[in-house]
């Protein structure tokens, strides 16, 4: 499917890590049998039960020239991000945790300012947050770790809005594809409809926080 994705999945398989394709990576796999050309990251979900094995696998990623850091909330890891010197796409490993009838993960966090009322203002708002993250990501104290729930994080960007992605448990039974035994959610097309609505038709008008049906504005502390 893709050299970089195959490389990542081989390491996960070698460490017996429970994973599945998520978000735009899953959409590309189901709709186009490839990664989306416009999607500049690879999204892979990791079940929290495999978190310790994933920690052991990080050195294997680093041996392939990946640099990694993780995002946590009050000390609890929620997402691992990796950047490679060999590929343009970054990698998001989302840690999925159970919460009632759902599995949840951190979708995003943004500085707590008034939400824009128009799509144009929404893009400007997202650009502002991206610039803030670029600045803080390159600060010495958060080269390897950023905790959006700590005091220093709140001082940097005042306070945060947190965005949670909720996956109904009925999709959490994994299905292995026939071509490479790639793991995807059960009933993947129904899951894509839950997240994206009319997912079969590509669109350039897409706002992750506003248009993804799985994303809600909730504090991670409610689930920890």
In this prediction, residue 131 has a pLDDT band, given cuts at 50, 70 and 90, of: low
pLDDT, position 152: 45
CB within 8 A of 33, min separation 6: which ones?
A: 1
In this prediction, residue 147 has a pLDDT band, given cuts at 50, 70 and 90, of: low
pLDDT, position 129: 58
pLDDT over threshold 70, residue 126: no
- pLDDT per position as a tens digit, 10-25: 999 999 999 999 999 9
**Please, what's the largest Cα pairwise distance for the chain?**
49
DSSP 3-state of 79: strand
pLDDT, position 125: 56
pLDDT, position 157: 47
Residues in the chain: 224
pLDDT over threshold 60, residue 113: no
- pLDDT per position as a tens digit, 29-50: 999 999 998 888 999 999 999 9
What domains, with CATH codes, occur in the chain?
3-107+165-222 (3.30.460.10)
pLDDT over threshold 90, residue 221: no
Give 202's DSSP letter.
Answer: -
Q: Which of the two residues, 72 and 147, has the higher pLDDT score?
A: 72
Contact present, 1 and 159 (Cβ < 8 Å): no
In this prediction, residue 141 has a pLDDT band, given cuts at 50, 70 and 90, of: very low
CA angle, corner 146, sides to 141 and 147, nearest 5?
A: 120
């Amino acid at each position: 499917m893709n050299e970089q994705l195959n490389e990542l999945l081989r390491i996960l398989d070698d460490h017996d890590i429970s994973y599945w394709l998520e978000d735009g990576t899953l959409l590309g796999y189901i709709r186009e049998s490839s990664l989306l050309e416009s999607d500049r990251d690879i999204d892979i979900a990791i079940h929290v039960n495999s978190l310790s094995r994933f920690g052991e696998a990080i050195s294997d990623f680093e041996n392939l020239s990946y640099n990694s850091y993780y995002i946590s909330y009050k000390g609890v890891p929620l997402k691992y991000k990796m950047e490679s010197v060999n590929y343009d796409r970054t990698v998001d490993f989302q840690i999925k945790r159970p919460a009632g009838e759902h599995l949840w993960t951190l979708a995003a966090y943004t500085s707590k300012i008034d939400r824009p009322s128009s799509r144009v203002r929404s893009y400007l708002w997202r650009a502002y947050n991206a610039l803030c993250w670029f600045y803080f990501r390159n600060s010495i104290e958060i080269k390897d770790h950023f905790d959006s729930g700590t005091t220093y994080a709140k001082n940097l960007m005042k306070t945060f809005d947190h965005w949670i992605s909720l996956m109904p448990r009925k999709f959490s039974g994994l299905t292995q594809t026939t071509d490479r035994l790639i793991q995807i959610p059960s009933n993947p097309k129904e899951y894509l409809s839950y997240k994206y609505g009319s997912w079969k038709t590509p669109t350039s008008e897409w706002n992750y926080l506003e248009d993804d049906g799985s994303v809600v504005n909730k504090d991670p502390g409610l689930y920890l």
